[in-house]
């Protein structure tokens, strides 16, 4: 089991020094939506307050599943943008191609299935490490032209997609600027679990070489968990790289919970009297399977159907077809299921604040012990009761440190059912947790750690 430790307070940053400028390579940036966008957006917001101006390199026509214009309000007006286009097809076209195996199973459909299979095979061979490689050349060329005109002090590339790392590496080579690689997810884990990830032997071989290449070019590595940071440090030692490693958690933004700034969303209905609302936010997929929770509700329904009828389970976000099929089983239990598609971040916060308890999911699969879901910190900041269904690892350690209920293993459906039975029997009067420790995970405090790293790298460059 990994050991999660609270980070020491960052050093105070002097405000008298000249402002510096960072190039942020972020394919996913507003108006793109999704959980992965929060990290770079909050960095841009707080970097500006702490003496670093940012130029964001992002596509003008990103091929993504969700858009969230509300996040644009977070971006300082002084932020500069480089927006080269990508040659990718639309996300709908990519999704249609990936799903073409589901075409009607008759002799008239076989040419379409064959064409789709060939297209997918070619794409896997060519589009490495991900389809966003079709943005690579335009991104590098546009950034190179801009960097020749506007001096910058460092480059930070955040991934996935991992094409961002290749872009950052190419720019580091041409301009000799310090390069930080930010692993929002480990490359190896993404290749294993992400939707439509290439899992063939050829892709694994090519991407392993790509990852060694960018690690050798990097001056510093940042990861979102201490366990991932330690694993990447091992890789750097094997490569005889002198790059430093730093854990910077995702954290939560106090401003998101400021009632004077964010008012309750009209999109969130009030719950009926006597109903216990449990809210899950985020994508439901193979790494966050809802199956243990559904099975536990089914078990409780067998012995206490009247309790299950008090339960309202709200799932906010995208769901894979497999996970949606699991959710439909709740229709036979008496539990009220509320399915909400992706919505803007302020509405997500309103859903969290409307709940009696929040649900956190992480499947018991290889590598999960190194994963800390980004939403964990917002859940803690809301100060609600928590149903955390996840295996032993860093996320479980953090929960046990900050919340008395702790985590329940996905295999322990009896324990999950007992959690429901206790809450539905006594109402929403359970302890909410030791919230005093979570201040260390504010986005502002975590960004201070990034500033400390940036200052260190730029100082080293000036001394060379």
Q: At residue 105, does pLDDT exceed 70?
A: no
- Higher per-residue confidence, 328 vs 112: 328
| pLDDT, tens digit (0-9, with 9 covering 90-100), for 21-48 | 999 999 999 999 988 899 999 999 999 9
Token pair 């790392």 is found at 165
What percentage of residues in the chain have a pLDDT greater than 90? 72
Predicted local distance difference test score (pLDDT) of residue 426: 72
| pLDDT, tens digit (0-9, with 9 covering 90-100), for 429-458 | 555 655 557 888 999 999 999 999 999 999
Predicted local distance difference test score (pLDDT) of residue 231: 96
Residues linked to residue 33 through DSSP beta bridges, in sequence order? none
Q: Which two tokens stand for residue 91?
A: 């996300």
Predicted local distance difference test score (pLDDT) of residue 352: 96
Predicted local distance difference test score (pLDDT) of residue 201: 86
Predicted local distance difference test score (pLDDT) of residue 116: 54
Residues linked to residue 386 through DSSP beta bridges, in sequence order? 358
Rounded mean pLDDT, 324-341? 97
Q: Residue 406 — very low, low, confident or very high, per pLDDT cuts 50/70/90?
A: confident
Mean pLDDT of the chain: 88
Please enumerate, as own/partner, the contacts of 77-80 that have beta carbons within 8 Å and a separation of 24 or more. Answer: 78/48, 78/53, 79/44, 79/48, 79/53, 79/54, 79/55, 80/53, 80/54, 80/55, 80/56, 80/150
Q: Residue 7 — very low, low, confident or very high, per pLDDT cuts 50/70/90?
A: very low
Predicted local distance difference test score (pLDDT) of residue 104: 44
Predicted local distance difference test score (pLDDT) of residue 5: 40
How far apart are alpha carbons 347 and 352 in whole angstroms? 9
| pLDDT, tens digit (0-9, with 9 covering 90-100), for 229-285 | 999 999 999 999 999 999 999 999 999 988 655 555 668 999 889 999 999 999 999
Q: Choose the most confident range, by mean pLDDT, from 104-118, 151-165, 192-206.
A: 151-165
CA distances from 358 to 75, 239, 372, 381 (A): 28, 42, 16, 11
- Higher per-residue confidence, 2 vs 364: 364
Q: Residue 92 — very low, low, confident or very high, per pLDDT cuts 50/70/90?
A: confident
How are beta strands 20-25 and 154-159 bridged, if at all?
A: parallel
Token pair 């996300």 is found at 91
Q: What interhelical angle do 110-126 and 201-217 show, nearest 10? A: 30
Q: How many CB atoms lie within 10 A of CB 404?
A: 13
Q: What interhelical angle do 163-175 and 201-217 show, nearest 10? A: 30
Q: Choose the most confident range, by mean pLDDT, from 196-205, 233-242, 255-264, 377-386.
A: 233-242
Q: Which domains does the chain have, with CATH numbers?
A: 20-99+112-251+442-463 (3.40.50.2000), 255-440 (3.40.50.2000)
Q: What interhelical angle do 226-238 and 201-217 show, nearest 10? A: 90
Q: Residue 144 — very low, low, confident or very high, per pLDDT cuts 50/70/90?
A: very high
Predicted local distance difference test score (pLDDT) of residue 115: 54
What percentage of residues in the chain have a pLDDT greater than 70? 84
Q: Which residues of 90-108 are buried (b: 16+ CB within 10 A; e: fewer)?
A: eeeebeebeebeeeeeeee
Phi, psi (rounded to 5 degrees) for 290? -90, 0
Predicted local distance difference test score (pLDDT) of residue 234: 97
- Higher per-residue confidence, 291 vs 107: 291
Rounded mean pLDDT, 192-201? 68
Helix (H, G, I), strand (E, B) or coil at 68: coil
Let me know if 146 is exposed, middle or buried by CB neighbors in 10 A (0-12, 13-18, 19+): middle
- Higher per-residue confidence, 163 vs 68: 163
Q: What interhelical angle do 443-463 and 35-49 show, nearest 10? A: 60
Q: Residue 4 — very low, low, confident or very high, per pLDDT cuts 50/70/90?
A: very low
| pLDDT, tens digit (0-9, with 9 covering 90-100), for 81-90 | 999 999 998 8
Q: At residue 208, does pLDDT exceed 90?
A: yes
Rounded mean pLDDT, 203-228? 96
What's the first-to-final CA gap in the chain, in angstroms?
41
Q: At residue 196, does pLDDT exceed 80?
A: no
Rounded mean pLDDT, 149-153? 97
Of 111-115, 220-224, 281-285, 298-302, the range with the lowest mean pLDDT is 111-115
Q: At residue 293, does pLDDT exceed 90?
A: yes
Rg, the chain, Cα only: 23
| pLDDT, tens digit (0-9, with 9 covering 90-100), for 61-77 | 999 988 999 899 999 99
Rounded mean pLDDT, 139-164? 98
């Amino acid at each position: 089991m990994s050991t999660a430790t609270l980070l020491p307070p960052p050093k105070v940053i002097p405000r008298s020094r000249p402002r510096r400028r960072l190039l942020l390579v972020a394919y996913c940036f507003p108006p793109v939506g999704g959980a992965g966008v929060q990290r770079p957006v909050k960095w841009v917001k707080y970097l500006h307050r702490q003496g670093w101006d940012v130029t964001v390199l992002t596509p003008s026509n990103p091929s993504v599943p969700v858009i969230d214009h509300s996040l644009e309000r977070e971006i300082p007006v002084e932020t500069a943008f480089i927006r080269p286009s990508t040659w990718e097809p639309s996300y709908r076209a990519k999704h249609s191609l990936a799903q073409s195996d589901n075409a009607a199973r008759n002799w008239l459909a076989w040419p379409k299935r064959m064409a789709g299979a060939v297209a997918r095979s070619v794409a896997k061979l060519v589009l490495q490490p991900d389809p966003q490689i079709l943005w690579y050349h335009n991104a590098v060329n546009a950034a190179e032209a801009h960097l020749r005109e506007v001096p910058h002090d460092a480059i930070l590339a955040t991934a996935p997609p991992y094409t961002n790392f290749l872009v950052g590496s190419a720019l580091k080579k041409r301009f000799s600027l310090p390069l930080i690689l930010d692993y929002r997810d480990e490359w190896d884990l993404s290749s294993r679990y992400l939707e439509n990830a290439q899992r063939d032997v050829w892709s694994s071989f090519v991407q392993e070489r790509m990852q060694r290449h960018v690690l050798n070019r990097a001056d510093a590595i940042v990861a979102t968990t201490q366990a991932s940071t330690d694993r990447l440090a091992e890789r750097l030692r094997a490569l005889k790289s002198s790059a430093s490693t730093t854990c910077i958690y995702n954290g939560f933004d106090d401003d998101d919970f400021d009632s004077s700034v964010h008012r309750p969303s009209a999109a969130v209905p009030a719950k009926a009297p006597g109903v216990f609302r449990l809210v899950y936010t985020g994508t439901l997929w193979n790494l966050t399977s809802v199956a243990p929770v559904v099975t536990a509700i089914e078990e409780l329904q067998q012995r206490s159907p009247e309790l299950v009828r008090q339960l309202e389970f709200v799932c906010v976000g995208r769901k894979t077809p497999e996970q949606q099929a699991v959710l439909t089983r709740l229709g036979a239990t008496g539990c009220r299921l509320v399915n909400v598609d992706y919505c803007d971040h302020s509405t997500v916060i309103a859903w969290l604040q409307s709940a009696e308890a929040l649900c956190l999911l992480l499947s018991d699969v290889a590598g999960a012990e190194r994963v800390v879901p980004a939403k964990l910190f917002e859940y803690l900041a809301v100060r609600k009761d928590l149903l955390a269904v996840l295996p032993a690892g860093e996320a479980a350690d953090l929960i046990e440190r900050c919340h008395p209920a702790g985590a329940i293993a996905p295999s322990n459906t009896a324990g999950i059912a007992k959690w429901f039975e206790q809450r539905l029997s006594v109402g929403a009067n359970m302890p909410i947790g030791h919230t005093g420790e979570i201040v260390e995970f504010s986005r502002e405090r975590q960004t201070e750690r990034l500033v400390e790293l940036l200052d260190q790298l730029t100082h080293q460059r000036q001394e060379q």
